[in-house]
Each structure stands twice: as C-alpha cells, then as structure tokens.
C-alpha cells in the first residue's frame, strides 16, 4: 500500500499524531499537506523505560520515526520562526531532523498575518471563529488573493521586497485606518524572513517530483492531515473552520500527488467528540459528563492550552467523514476514556425542528438547531489499557466498537486504549490491506 492518506474525522485532536507515529516505522515519507502551526499533535513514546511526550505543530509526526523522510508540502503555510524552534527543540532531545524537505511552493506566514489574525478576531467580537491566532487564515487568504510570499521568494531579494511592498501597501491601510494599529515596515518583514533563508535553502525541493519518484520506486508515502473533516474550509462547519482543505482530497492539491496514486484513506475517530474554538456542536455536554470526558481524556489544546469542548460520539459526522474522505479504515482512539460509565450514548441522527435527519443537514442554520437523537450502549468498568487484542476487550466495549463500525459504514481497523505508542489494538493491518 504505497500511498496512504490519514485524516481526522471530527473537529481535530482525534489522535492523528499517535496514529502516524504508529505507522511510522513502515513508512518511507510522511507528508504534511495542509495547515500550519495551528495543528498540535501529541505523541507519547517509551524511551529507556520512561514515557516521553512530544508536541508537534508544524512538523509531520513522522519526524519521530528514524527512517522516515518528513515532507512539508506546498499546501502548508510555514512560520519559519516556529519551524526552526521546533527543529532545534527536537534536535536537543536527540531526534534527527536532517531528512526534512520543504516545498519551494509552500507559503510563508509573516508578522502581519499573525497581527491581522488577532485583530480580526477581536474586531469580530461575539462572531469570532476562535482561531489559534497563528496567522493561518490571513496567510491562506493572501495565497488565494495571489499576494502571498512563497519559500522560493526568499532566494530573490528584489522580488521578495517587491511582493512585501505590494502587500503592505494595502495591509497597512487596513491596520492603521480600521484597526488602529501601527504600520508595519517593509524592512522589518524582509529582515524577519531573510534571517532563515540560508538555513532553509538545503531543505527546499520540488517535493511533488520527489514524492512521485518515491512512489515510482514503490516506497510508502503517508499523507498526514492537520485539523479534520469538519474544520475543512469546503466541507466543514463553515465559517467555523480553518482555512485549508483537511479532507483526503487536500492531500493531492497540498502535495502535487494525483488522486489516481492514492491507495487508502485512514480516518481517526475519537470515541467521543471534542471541539476547540467557536461553532455548532450538536452533542456538546455542559454537565458533569462533559467534565468527565475533559478530565479523563485530558482534553486541553496542545497548541493553545484551551479547554476542549466535549460531547458524546456523533456518527452522523462519522458517516459524513466516511463519505467525504472515502475512508477505507478507521482508527477509533481513546476508547479507554469511556471506561466507567453506566451507559455510553451514541448520537445516531438529529432532530431539527421536529424533523429527523440521518445525514448532515443541508444548511448551517439547521445544523445549529440540531438536537442529538441518542442510542444508549451499555458501559464497562474494566481497565482496557492493557488489552492488545479485540477479543480481550470487555463484551460491552466490543459491542460499542462494532455498533459504531456498523453506523459509520467502514471498518474499524485499530482501537486506541491509551496515549502510549503500544497502547493500541490492531484488528486489521493498517494501511497494508490486501483484501479489497
């Protein structure tokens, strides 16, 4: 199975980092194809008998697998300061980052993007998106507006300066006249970007070409999404989304590898639901059960530290993720967090103003009004973190997984029972399926 796409099925933080890490040893390239340092992936690894935790933002989680080439694709937006801080942090902990390659077409986040992200959110007040404040939206907006700065622009100072001048001409009017902020100097921005140019130069590649050659050789390439299906700018809960394509199709535009070369799509589905930031969330819990999920699941943002909003599993969303991404395998994560509940509700449909919806409603307003219709599954109390085979799980935990599998319409190939690298049950070989 040479080309595998890995996506989040819900609103992010499903455990994509851990799943990538799990596949990492059998993978030759791991490609980040969308988003930037708005992502936060926590990977927990056992090293010399001790649990070590890594929080990755801009680098693909595959960087932790020694033989894997990490790739930052053209669809990513890069904050160079964050990139080198993350590289230095990993090197200081003994992780080799020397294989990293970066697309010459990826766009760069500059200071004015971060500033605009923050002031726009403040300006929106109650209508804010709840962004991570990392400049992601303004950088993608510039890309679409054709005034973005790309990695390759760092190597022609004349062009870089012209582009920064052109974009600041307009942005400074907005910053000064609308947001009452100080104007940003061209030299400041050019200086900020150029300080990283020489360090970045040896990493810069035509990553699309390299990946194409890797696939020709029969190498295994894993495309790791940031964010998730419902945060996708086209298919998510717009406008409460991020500004990139986080669904499986984004792997193609964000890397320059065509759809005909993709072999399988793995979606990561948390056994319950979380969301960070604003926007509709039908199964959100504002009671003790929500607090239980947040505490037991340690649901605090890896990037911003914000408490995550928590709720029961929603399989209307799960089914939607199967369809939009063409999911071949699901990994259900954090099943252990549900241990100790009398009943585990699954949202199987919505009631929207008296009408039952088995699929996502047509309009966003209806989704805001959606009331969950639950099916209650019996709970379990046994510690499942040491289970490594599906039949070792308590009968009720097995029944929960099988019911979810039936409802989402694609097979559940692995189940997470703890944060550690080995705390996983593999029902079917992930990404190496030969039976379809």
For the annotated catalytic residues, the residue numbers are 13, 41
Both tokens of 315, joined, read: 């399989």
Scanning 134-142, 183-191, 309-317, 323-331 for contacts with ligand IMO by CB under 6 A, the matching segment is 134-142
12 binds ligand IMO (CB under 6 A): yes
Partner from ligand GDP, Mg ion, ligand IMO, none binding residue 70, C-beta < 5-8 Å depending on class: none
335 binds ligand IMO (CB under 6 A): no
Distance of closest approach, residue 211 Cβ to ligand IMO, in angstroms = 21
276 binds ligand IMO (CB under 6 A): yes
Task: Give the count of residues interacting with Mg ion (CB under 5 A).
Answer: 3
Report the C-alpha gap between 65 and 54 in whole angstroms: 12
Task: Give the count of residues interacting with ligand IMO (CB under 6 A).
Answer: 23
40 binds ligand IMO (CB under 6 A): yes
Q: Which residue is nearest to ligand IMO (CB)?
A: 277
Rg for the chain, CA atoms, rounded: 22
Decide if 375 contacts 341 (C-beta within 8 A). no
13 binds Mg ion (CB under 5 A): yes
Decide if 318 contacts 408 (C-beta within 8 A). yes
Scanning 32-40, 77-85, 146-154, 423-431 for contacts with ligand IMO by CB under 6 A, the matching segment is 32-40
CA atoms within 13 A on the CB side of 162: 5
User: Which residues have C-beta within 8 Å of that of residue 113, sequence separation ≥ 6?
Assistant: 135, 136, 138, 139, 142
Decide if 110 contacts 213 (C-beta within 8 A). no
132 binds ligand IMO (CB under 6 A): yes
Q: Which of 418, 420, 424 is nearest to 390 (CA)?
A: 424
* Residues making up the chain, counted from first to last: 436
Scanning 13-21, 123-131, 241-249, 280-288 for contacts with Mg ion by CB under 5 A, the matching segment is 13-21
Distance of closest approach, residue 55 Cβ to ligand GDP, in angstroms = 8
Site pattern 284..313 for Mg ion (x: CB under 5 A):
------------------x-----------
Strand positions, DSSP E, 48-191: 50-56, 69-72, 77-78, 101-103, 107-108
DSSP 8-state symbol, 308: P
419 binds Mg ion (CB under 5 A): no
Residues 210 to 229: which contact ligand IMO by CB under 6 A?
226-228
Decide if 118 contacts 89 (C-beta within 8 A). no
Residues 27 to 46: which contact Mg ion by CB under 5 A?
40
Both tokens of 111, joined, read: 């200071």
Q: Which of 256, 272, 215 is nearest to 14 (CA)?
A: 272
Distance of closest approach, residue 248 Cβ to ligand IMO, in angstroms = 15
* Residue 151 or 417 with smaller CB distance to ligand GDP: 417
* Residue 283 or 339 with smaller CB distance to ligand IMO: 283
Distance of closest approach, residue 339 Cβ to ligand GDP, in angstroms = 10
Scanning 100-108, 133-141, 209-217, 369-377 for contacts with ligand IMO by CB under 6 A, the matching segment is 133-141
Q: Count CB atoms within 10 A of the CB of residue 49.
A: 5
Report the C-alpha gap between 16 and 61 in whole angstroms: 9
Report the C-alpha gap between 288 and 351 in whole angstroms: 23
Using CB under 6 A as the criterion, which residues of the chain lie in contact with ligand IMO when the complex forms?
8, 12-13, 38-41, 129-132, 134, 136-137, 226-228, 231, 242-243, 276-277, 302
| Binding residues for Mg ion (CB under 5 A) | 13, 40, 302
């Amino acid at each position: 199975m040479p080309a595998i796409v890995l996506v989040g099925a819900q609103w992010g933080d499903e455990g994509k980092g851990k799943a990538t890490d799990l596949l990492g040893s059998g993978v030759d390239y791991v490609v980040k194809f969308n988003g930037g340092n708005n992502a936060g992936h926590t990977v927990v690894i056992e090293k010399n008998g001790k649990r070590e935790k890594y929080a990755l933002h801009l680098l693909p989680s595959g960087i932790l697998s020694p033989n894997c080439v990490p790739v930052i694709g053209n669809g990513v937006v890069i904050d160079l300061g964050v990139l080198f801080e993350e590289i230095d942090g990993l090197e200081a902990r003994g992780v080799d980052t020397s294989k990293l390659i970066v697309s010459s077409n990826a766009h760069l986040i500059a200071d004015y993007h971060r500033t605009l992200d923050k002031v726009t959110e403040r300006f929106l007040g109650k209508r804010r998106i709840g962004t991570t404040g990392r400049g992601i939206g303004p950088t993608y907006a510039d890309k679409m507006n054709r005034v973005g700065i790309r990695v390759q622009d760092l190597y022609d100072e004349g062009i870089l300066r012209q582009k920064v001048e052109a974009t600041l001409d307009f942005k400074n009017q907005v910053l000064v006249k609308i947001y009452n902020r100080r104007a940003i100097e061209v030299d400041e921005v050019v200086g900020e970007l150029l300080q990283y140019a020489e360090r970045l130069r040896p990493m810069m590649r035509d990553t699309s070409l390299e990946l194409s050659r890797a696939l020709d050789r029969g190498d295994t390439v894993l495309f790791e999404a940031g964010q998730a299906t419902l945060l996708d700018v086209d298919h998510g809960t717009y406008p409460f989304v991020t500004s990139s394509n986080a669904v499986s199709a984004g792997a193609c535009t964000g890397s320059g590898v065509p759809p005909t070369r993709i072999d399988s799509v793995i979606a990561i589905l948390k056994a319950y639901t979380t969301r960070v930031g604003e926007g509709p969330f039908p199964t959100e819990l504002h009671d003790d059960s929500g607090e239980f999920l947040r505490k037991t699941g340690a649901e605090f943002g890896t990037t911003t530290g914000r408490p995550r909003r928590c709720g029961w599993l929603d399989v209307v969303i799960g089914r939607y993720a199967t369809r939009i991404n063409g999911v071949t395998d699901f990994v259900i994560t954090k099943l252990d967090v549900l241990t100790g509940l009398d009943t585990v509700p699954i949202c199987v449909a919505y009631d929207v103003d008296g009408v039952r919806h088995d699929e996502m409603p047509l309009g966003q307003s209806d989704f805001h009004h959606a009331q969950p219709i639950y099916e209650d599954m019996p709970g379990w109390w046994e510690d499942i973190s040491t289970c490594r085979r599906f039949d070792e799980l308590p009968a009720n935990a097995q029944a929960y997984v099988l019911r979810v599998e039936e409802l989402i319409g694609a097979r559940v190939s692995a189940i997470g029972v703890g944060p550690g690298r080995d705390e996983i049950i593999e029902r079917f070989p992930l990404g190496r399926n030969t039976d379809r």
